[in-house]
Structures are given as C-alpha cells and as structure tokens.
Chain A
Amino acid sequence: MDALVFYGSALISIVASLLVVTRRNPVYGAIFLVLFFTTISLDFLLLRAPFLAVIQVLVYAGAIMVLYLFVIMLLSLKAEELREEVTRGRKAMAAVFSGGLFLLLARAIRASDRVRNAPDLAGPLPVGTGEVGTTFAVGDEIFRSQLFAFELTSVLILIAIIGAVYLTKRGPVEPVRPVEPQRLTGHSPGGPADRGVETGQEVGAAAVRGEAAR
C-alpha cells in the first residue's frame, strides 16, 4: 500500500518538476512547484519523517513560495520580457548532460550492494527503536549532538537576512540602461492616428481656454 502511494506521488512529483522547468510564465512554474513540494512531503510521511513533512509544507510551500510569488508580482513581468532566446542546440546539450547524469546516478544506484540489500522501507521498525522523525526526536538530536551545526545555521540565516536587506535597499545606483519612455508611460509612441487625437485634444483644450477667457 505504501509503495502504491509512493509510486503515485513520485509520478506526480516528476511531472510537476518537468512542468516547473518547461512553463514560460514563472507564476505557473511556482504553482507547480507548490504541488511538487506537497508530493515530496507525502514521501517524507511514508519514510517516517512526520516532522520534516510538516516543515516541508510550512517552510517550502508556505514561506519560500510566498517569497517567490511576491517577487514575481513585484516585478510584474510582461510577455515580451519573459521571452528567452535559448537555441535548440543549447537545450539539446542540457538534455544530454542531465540525462547522462541521471543514467550515471541510476547505474551507481543499481550497482550498489548496500542499496540492493536494503530492506523494505515500508516494513515495521525493529522492536526497541526509539522515536524516529518526530518533533521530539529531531529536536533532541539538534540540541544534543548537532548543537554547533545548528548555531552555525542560525548565523548563516542572519547573514542572509542582512544581505537581502542590503541588496534590496534603494541605493545611489543609477539605471545603466535608460528606461524606454514606452515602459514608463504605458502607451506606444504616437503614430499618425495618435497625433490626430492629440491635436484634437489640444483644439478642445484651446476652446475651453478661450471660453474661460471670454
């Protein structure tokens, strides 16, 4: 039963990750990434890691994806800004490289005796095994044997926060590439029709001004 659930979630997670990679619009990519994170959280539950399953949904699907969606909406990229000029050859080379990497990894996994002799992961735990993967067990491990690494992680996050605040602060830098007027005002520079409208408006304004003078 566990195995069937795992196959289902594995199928969904691979399809979702492929969709993340192939969608042009990053909003769709972010939504499929949320789906992917939930399926991975399901796998964590099957592998007896309930604390990590909850943290996966809270931190990845909750916090990190909100950060991504926030930036996507802050930038509000238009369709022409999302265009990518990736040549067919470069895509093929990327596919060959990552496909070759997968074949190498699969070969290594198949060749390993340890992996072949590993028991059924869905089976019951040996009698007398302590708590595994619960909040208590993971917290106990963090604060007993991995305390130094945990403290270093907190320093890393502090540095990341300071870096993020410094980088997004409005500094004295000027834009190097001048912003086209089209992007600032939102309408295209005037063709003959536009000019006609503008002169019409000017005539109207002049009429209003004349009336005011009278």
Chain B
Amino acid sequence: MSPPLLALLELSLKNVLLVASAVFCVGVYGVLSRQNVLVILMCVELILNGANLALVAFGRAMLQAPPGTPTGELASRANVAHVFVVMVLAVAAAEAAVGLAILLAVYRRWRTTNAGEIHLLSG
C-alpha cells in the first residue's frame, strides 16, 4: 500500500482537528444565517462541541510526549483536558437554561421566536 493510504489508516491529530473545526464552522454558519432563536441556540451547542472535540484530541496527543518526560504527569495533563471539557459542558448547560428562559420570556411578550422581528434596541 502506498504511504499516503497507510497514513490514512492511522488516527492523526490533524484529521481530528479538521473535523472539530468543520463542526465549529458549520455552527458559526448557522448562527449567522438563521433567524429562529431555537436553531441559533442549537448552533451554539455545535460550536461548543467542536471546541470540546479539539480539547479531547489535544489531551490525547499529550499522552505521547517525547521520551524523557515522567509518564505520571502525562496522564494528569490529559485528565486536565477532560476536566476542561466538563466545565465547557457546565457552561453549555447554563447557557441552554438561561437562553431558553429568555426565549420563553420573549415569546410571551412578542409572540415570536424570530430574531429578525425582535428589534427593540435597533433604533
């Protein structure tokens, strides 16, 4: 088998990061192009998940450090990345709860979930 094909068979950090940034950019596109506030909030979840995937991939790559580094510290570094993901998850949950509560309050007052129709602050 040719070397490029062999390289495809290993799970490289580059590919994981490319997938994470693709998911991130799809989320950004959704936030910019949609008007339904529910869908915009879901796209924010997409963005956070792209970031999470990159964090976990970096944590995994930390485990194969150059020889000489004490191996006990390697596991700790990867675990710190996982703790970071847990905190991103907590922020995502808080964002979903507050965002949906704001959406409900707005819907009760203006009877719409369209971000284009809520323009009280736009002069």
A residues contacting B by CB (< 8 A) are 2-4, 6-7, 10, 13-14, 17-18, 20-21, 26, 29-30, 33, 36-37, 40, 43-44, 46-49, 51-52, 55-56, 59-60, 63-64, 67-68, 71-72, 74-75, 77, 81-82, 84-86, 90-91, 93-95, 97-99, 101-102, 105-106, 109-110, 115-116, 118-123, 125-133, 137-138, 140-142, 145-146, 149-150, 153, 156-157, 159-161, 163-165, 167-168, 170, 173, 175-177, 179, 183
How many residues of B are counted as interface, with CB atoms below 8 angstroms from the partner's CB atoms? 82
Q: Are B34 and A168 in contact (CB under 8 A)?
A: no
Query: How far is it, in angstroms, between the C-alpha of A19 and the C-alpha of B74 when the chains are bound?
Result: 38
Q: Are B25 and A84 in contact (CB under 8 A)?
A: no
Q: Are B45 and A129 in contact (CB under 8 A)?
A: no
Sampled A-B contacts (19; CB under 8 Å): A2-B11, A21-B43, A26-B42, A46-B11, A47-B57, A52-B86, A59-B93, A75-B104, A102-B21, A105-B21, A106-B21, A110-B14, A121-B61, A130-B71, A138-B86, A156-B91, A160-B93, A168-B104, A179-B111
Residues of B within 8 A of A40 (CB): 49, 52-53
Q: Are B26 and A14 in contact (CB under 8 A)?
A: yes
Q: Are B38 and A130 in contact (CB under 8 A)?
A: no
Query: How far is it, in angstroms, between the C-alpha of A90 and the C-alpha of B100 when the chains are bound?
Result: 25
User: Among the listed B16, B83, B93, which residue makes an inter-chain contact with A138, where contact means beta carbons less than 8 Å apart?
Assistant: B83
Query: How far is it, in angstroms, between the C-alpha of A64 and the C-alpha of B114 when the chains are bound?
Result: 21
Shortest CB–CB separation between residue A14 and chain B, in angstroms? 6
User: Among the listed A13, A120, A157, which residue makes an inter-chain contact with B90, where contact means beta carbons less than 8 Å apart?
Assistant: A157
Residues of B within 8 A of A165 (CB): 101
Q: Are A168 and B79 in contact (CB under 8 A)?
A: no
Query: How far is it, in angstroms, between the C-alpha of A153 and the C-alpha of B104 when the chains are bound?
Result: 25
Q: Are A116 and B56 in contact (CB under 8 A)?
A: no
1/0 per residue, CB under 8 A from A, across B39-66: the answer is: 1011101100100110011011101100
Which of A67, A81, A121 is packed against the most chain B CB atoms within 10 Å?
A: A121
B61 to A, closest residue via Cβ: A118
Q: Are B8 and A60 in contact (CB under 8 A)?
A: no
Q: Are B101 and A163 in contact (CB under 8 A)?
A: yes
Supposing A101-B25, A130-B76, A167-B105 touch, asked if A86 and B34 sit within 8 A by C-beta, the answer is: yes
Q: Which of B53-109 contact A (CB under 8 A)?
A: 53, 56-57, 59-61, 63-64, 71-72, 74-76, 78-80, 82-83, 85-87, 89-98, 100-105, 107-109
Residues of A within 8 A of B79 (CB): 132-133, 137-138, 140-141
Query: How far is it, in angstroms, between the C-alpha of A130 and the C-alpha of B61 when the chains are bound?
Result: 15
B71 to A, closest residue via Cβ: A128
Residues of B within 8 A of A177 (CB): 109-111
